Amino acid sequence: MELSIVCIDKPDDMNFILGQAHFIKTVEDLHEALIQTVPGILFGLAFCEASGPRLVRSSGTDKELVKLAEKNAMNISAGHSFIIMLKNAFPINILPVIRQVPEVCRIFCATANSTEVVVADTASGRGILGVIDGRPPTGIENEEEKNQRRIFLRDIGYKL
């Protein structure tokens, strides 16, 4: 087995979702789930087939995001993996719907952070072992920092 690291190529502030699914129908089902959940969403998604012609299948509402998803999918090249590049939406708003897509097996990450994907190559193929998403903590929040967090979440509308 050989291990390698693949860096996700994206603008610093762009969110993406990396996951695993199991069927060619994934591309259309994810596309439908995304557009039905967030009207006007801009996204590109790409899915790596694991058998047959083993193509990267793609779709989306923004050509540049589709190209970016395709590029990252090819870089990762792990069977049954998918990546969704997002604009106009945040993962927190679409993750519940993505998890409900019957083909989706797991979500590795949903983030805007700089992310590295840990990939294993074997004689049988290539798969994602996990992700490195962010840096380690520098400490434990104090009461003032807890209050700042609570205020921030209410200021951006995620808590009442």
Put simply, whether the predicted model's pTM sits higher than 0.85 gets the answer yes
Task: Return the C-alpha torsion angle 79, 85, 86, 91, nearest 10.
Answer: 40
Distance CA 134, CA 15 (A): 13
Residue 88's pLDDT is what?
85
- Domains of the chain listed by start with CATH number: 2-137 (3.40.1520.10)
Q: Which residues have C-beta within 8 Å of that of residue 29, sequence separation ≥ 6?
A: 101, 102, 103
Instruction: Please tell me the distance from the alpha carbon of residue 46 to that of residue 18, in angstroms, as a whole number.
Output: 10
Query: Token pair for residue 45?
Result: 């998604």
**What pLDDT is stored for residue 151 in this prediction?**
96
Residue range 74-106, pLDDT digits in tens? 999 999 999 999 998 999 999 999 999 999 999
Q: What is the 3-class SS of 106-145, one letter each residue?
A: EEEEEECCCEEEEEEEECCEEEEEEEEECCCCCCCCCHHH
57-75 residue pLDDT tens = 999 999 999 999 999 999 9
